[in-house]
Structure 1
Amino acid sequence: MPSTSICRGATPREVSTRASSSAGSTLATAAADDDRERKTQYEVQEEHGSYQEFTVRDHSEGLPGLFWRNFFGTPFVRLFGQRLETLPSDCVKHLGDALVLVQPYEFPSQAGSPEADARERELVEMLGPECFYDHERHQKPTRRPVLEAETRPVRLKRGTRPDATSSGR
């Protein structure tokens, strides 16, 4: 069987799940690999070749778009606010404690189809296009989530270890 219970319509190699700051339940997505690539990078043409550029490097810069499954935690629930309540009931599910699933279409294999693209555009308009990368103009989002200090990764100086007794200095 090439499908799984959470990813019907795509093989496990075609669907990837990305989670950011899972301890803080900030953001997690599940998407077909080609859809993720299409939304997170683009090709820049130069006179003597081309290179790939990121749309957004991570969720602190905003969102590259909507994927098959989008699990929004506290920072994104705050960012979208009441707009989440305006989404069609067939594509939003409140999972409790400031965790919301937005699923524009039923199967990951639908990503990139004209119907799925239209549904994503509709939901982006409802949530606020300023929160998402503008793929037509190649412009980063102008509204981004406020990330709490405890959900940001800790950066250590080389040669140091986290220590429960350290003061953080």
Structure 2
Amino acid sequence: MITEKDAIALINLAESLEINVFIDGGWGVDALLGEQTREHQDIDLFVEERQAARFIHALHQQGFKERTEAYSTPNHIVFADADRRTVDLHLFNYDADGCIVFEGETYPADTFSGEGYIGKKKVSCIPPQAQVAFHTGYAFDDNDIRDVLALCRRFHLSVPNEYLPYAD
């Protein structure tokens, strides 16, 4: 489990190395909401590929080791430590137009323009509209339902069709 304290420590670690990290997943949702709404098994961090080696070295120094998962790819690397804290590291690049390229897909330059808070720590994250969009098109679970509905309520977004049966 990644606690608020763990999340902040990992972000501070990256910042101490002058590495920009962008928060996605459950912690990204909670950052946008400004509060922790549930326990998190991991933290999803996006790091520019050119900065990845330094961040991975720092993770190793903190006791994190690479762990292969069914969803692991060269650009989606999972790390865990002895306390079973897990970091899902997503490596991306910018193209010539400033758009984000991740695993062969190109995303708008503003994909990392969200801001939120983990505790009192201001963080960069995926904005609400993109978070909701990224939660569609796959078999979602109860956490996804809670996250999407909370974002839609807070930011006055339309609930995606596949989540409508779960909306109030």
Does the TM-score normalized on the shorter chain lie above 0.5? no
Decide which structure has the larger Cα Rg and report it. Answer: 1
Larger helix fraction of residues: 2
Larger strand fraction of residues: 2
- Give the TM-score of the pair, scaled to structure 1: 0.29
- Give the TM-score of the pair, scaled to structure 2: 0.29
